[in-house]
């Protein structure tokens, strides 16, 4: 049979997809629950979120929130650290705790048959952690050893240095979540206990549940475990100090490194429904996926890199625009020039074809964002953390489709600011500096990683 292979086969029909509906309810003590019933598999996933992130850490105690997260499951209720882990494991439950600048998440995935005992363990971790001195000291020593380890990780160095120079030492977003060595040295168990008392209470938390259970039994289980959990407190929001970033190039020297890690970008606005989709579409075109302008240029045309990405990063109280890649040393500045050229070009706007591609990609992919229990739980979490509108997911496709070329081009022009681009390079400064012509990227500062947080 001879077939026509010349052109793309046509799509057949339409996809049926409905966003899963969220049920919400509240326990007597004010703890809010967001629940999605999902029955395909006998499992349940819980994200327990506490509005506490590293941005709340005092200047001299950076890393405090992270250490509290590390200590929370080192003993709770009836069990010491190892017993508690053993109890989770014998249920086949996956349990972990992590913090970012804005939020702490305790996540649990467990088979339906083991849900009740696993939930009870989660309850212990949240409401009655031991926070013992000896466990704390061990976890603190882990973090201190980690600081030694990261000194040899170029991508880590690039990322944390970029954020530090971008936000400026005064900003609560300037420091890595794990803190830095001198501030972690300052942390003592009393500070960890105080932080727990201050932040872990029902009004400052919420729970997302996705799984194979009916709403009534879920409510009664949650009630029996969390209804006695009461701490009254208020949250102080730290001041967010944001300055315009400077056109400057920081080279963090790593002698004989065979590649250079590149980060460049500037501050940007917080997430807002006014311009979120416009920025997302522009970013898809610039560096948000494989066939983006940056990747086609630096990887598929010039072969400078294995991959390059651009992003708008959104924190609760701040935002940034960032391009990241790593390239062979000899092409460090060639790569930077191409990045700059693409950034400058995107200010002139995107094409109708690029707009069509981006909208199609976002809207048609949407159903696959709700495939796993984890994806659903994290979508709901993100909706709440970012205060997205009630019908955010229901109107997502419609909203993406309503974005016009003009909307995107206006945002591209306003939100990309080449004169504010700050650069961090991690690589062999001797081999890099000679490639730079005069002040094409602004003032050059060469330093060692050890000196980054002293600036």
Give CA 274 to chain center in angstroms: 21
Is 338 exposed, middle or buried, given 0-12, 13-18 or 19+ CB atoms closer than 10 A? Answer: buried
Among 98, 152, 344, 395, interactor with other proteins by CB under 8 A: 152
Is-contact 271 314, C-beta < 8 A?
Answer: yes
* Residues touching other proteins, count (CB under 8 A): 76
Among 364, 398, 430, 439, interactor with other proteins by CB under 8 A: 364
Q: How far apart are CA 289 and CA 131, in angstroms?
A: 43
Does position 96 bind other proteins by CB under 8 A? no
Encode 417-441: b = buried (16+ Cβ within 10 Å), e = exposed. beebbbbbbbbbbeebbebbeeeeb
Decide whether 284 or 444 has the Cβ nearer to other proteins: 284
Among 216, 234, 256, 454, interactor with other proteins by CB under 8 A: 256
Rounded least distance, CB 390 to other proteins, Å: 24
Among 360, 401, 448, 455, interactor with other proteins by CB under 8 A: 360
List the one residue out of 390, 169, 405, 192 whose CA is nearest residue 281. 405
Does position 17 bind other proteins by CB under 8 A? yes
Decide whether 177 or 318 has the Cβ nearer to other proteins: 177
Q: How far apart are CA 87 and CA 57, in angstroms?
A: 32
Does position 136 bind other proteins by CB under 8 A? no
Among 43, 44, 105, 286, interactor with other proteins by CB under 8 A: 43
Decide whether 219 or 361 has the Cβ nearer to other proteins: 361
Applying the rule CB under 8 A, the residues between 392 and 411 that interact with other proteins are none
Decide whether 235 or 258 has the Cβ nearer to other proteins: 258
Q: How far apart are CA 155 and CA 185, in angstroms?
A: 24
Rounded least distance, CB 46 to other proteins, Å: 14
Among 215, 301, 330, 401, interactor with other proteins by CB under 8 A: 301
Q: How far apart are CA 287 and CA 300, in angstroms?
A: 13
Q: How is residue 94 written in tokens?
A: 């996956």
Does position 58 bind other proteins by CB under 8 A? no
Encode 232-259: b = buried (16+ Cβ within 10 Å), e = exposed. eeeeeeeebebeebebbbbbbbbeebeb
Is 365 exposed, middle or buried, given 0-12, 13-18 or 19+ CB atoms closer than 10 A? Answer: exposed
Among 120, 188, 269, 289, interactor with other proteins by CB under 8 A: 289
Does position 182 bind other proteins by CB under 8 A? no
Does position 352 bind other proteins by CB under 8 A? no
SS3 of residue 102 by DSSP: coil
Rounded least distance, CB 111 to other proteins, Å: 6
End-to-end CA distance of the chain: 71
Rounded least distance, CB 356 to other proteins, Å: 8
Phi, psi for residue 244 in degrees, rounded to 5: -60, 140
Does position 80 bind other proteins by CB under 8 A? no
Among 259, 278, 297, 381, interactor with other proteins by CB under 8 A: 259
Among 204, 305, 381, 429, interactor with other proteins by CB under 8 A: 305
Rounded least distance, CB 402 to other proteins, Å: 18
Is-contact 431 275, C-beta < 8 A?
Answer: no
Applying the rule CB under 8 A, the residues between 185 and 244 that interact with other proteins are none
Does position 334 bind other proteins by CB under 8 A? no
Does position 29 bind other proteins by CB under 8 A? no
Please enumerate in sequence order all residues whose Cβ is within 8 A of that of 435, keeping only pairs 6 or more positions apart, or say none: 332, 333, 334
Is-contact 20 376, C-beta < 8 A?
Answer: yes
Does position 258 bind other proteins by CB under 8 A? yes
Among 33, 125, 157, 327, interactor with other proteins by CB under 8 A: 327
Does position 277 bind other proteins by CB under 8 A? no
Does position 309 bind other proteins by CB under 8 A? no
Rounded least distance, CB 454 to other proteins, Å: 19
Among 6, 239, 352, 434, interactor with other proteins by CB under 8 A: 6
Is-contact 288 321, C-beta < 8 A?
Answer: no
Among 54, 109, 409, 415, interactor with other proteins by CB under 8 A: 109
Does position 363 bind other proteins by CB under 8 A? yes
Q: How far apart are CA 189 and CA 427, in angstroms?
A: 38
Among 75, 154, 172, 265, interactor with other proteins by CB under 8 A: 154
Q: How is residue 281 written in tokens?
A: 């579409």
């Amino acid at each position: 049979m001879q077939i026509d292979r010349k052109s793309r086969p046509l799509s057949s029909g339409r996809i049926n997809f409905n966003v899963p509906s969220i049920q919400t309810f509240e326990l007597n003590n004010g703890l809010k629950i967001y629940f999605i019933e999902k029955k395909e598999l006998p499992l349940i996933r819980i994200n327990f979120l506490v509005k506490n992130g590293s941005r709340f850490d005092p200047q001299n105690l950076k890393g405090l929130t992270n250490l509290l997260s590390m200590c929370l499951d080192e003993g709770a209720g009836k069990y010491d650290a190892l017993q508690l882990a053993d109890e989770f494991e014998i249920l086949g439950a996956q349990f972990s705790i992590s913090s970012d600048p804005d939020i702490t998440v305790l996540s649990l995935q467990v088979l339906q048959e083991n849900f009740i005992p696993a939930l009870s363990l989660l309850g212990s971790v949240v409401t009655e952690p031991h926070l013992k001195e000896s466990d704390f000291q061990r976890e603190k020593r882990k973090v201190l050893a980690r600081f030694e380890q990261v000194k040899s990780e170029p991508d880590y160095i690039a990322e944390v240095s970029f954020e530090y120079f971008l936000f400026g030492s005064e900003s609560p977003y300037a420091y890595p979540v794990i803190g830095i060595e001198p501030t972690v040295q300052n942390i003592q168990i009393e500070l960890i206990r105080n932080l727990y008392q201050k932040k872990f209470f029902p009004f400052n938390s919420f729970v997302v549940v996705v799984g194979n259970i009916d709403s009534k039994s879920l409510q009664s289980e949650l009630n029996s475990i969390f209804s006695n959990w009461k701490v009254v407190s208020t949250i102080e929001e730290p001041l967010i100090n944001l300055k315009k970033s400077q056109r400057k190039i920081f080279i963090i020297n790593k002698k004989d490194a065979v590649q250079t890690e590149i980060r460049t970008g500037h501050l940007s606005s917080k997430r807002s429904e006014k311009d979120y989709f416009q920025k997302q579409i522009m970013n898809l075109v610039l560096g948000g996926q494989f066939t983006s302008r940056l990747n086609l240029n630096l990887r598929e045309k010039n072969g400078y890199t294995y991959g390059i990405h651009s992003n708008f990063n959104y924190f609760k109280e701040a935002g940034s625009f960032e391009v990241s890649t790593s390239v062979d040393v000899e092409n460090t500045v060639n790569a930077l020039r191409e990045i700059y050229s693409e950034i400058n070009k995107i200010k002139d706007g995107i094409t109708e074809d690029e707009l069509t591609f981006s909208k199609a990609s976002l809207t048609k992919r949407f159903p696959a964002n709700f495939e796993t229990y984890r994806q659903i739980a994290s979508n709901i979490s993100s909706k709440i953390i970012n205060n997205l509108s009630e019908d955010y997911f229901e109107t997502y496709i419609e909203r993406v489709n309503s974005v016009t070329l003009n909307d995107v081009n206006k945002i591209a022009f306003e939100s990309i600011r080449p004169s504010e681009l700050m650069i961090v390079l991690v690589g062999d400064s001797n081999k890099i500096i000679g490639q730079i012509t005069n002040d094409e990227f602004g003032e050059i500062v060469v330093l060692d990683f050890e000196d980054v947080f002293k600036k």
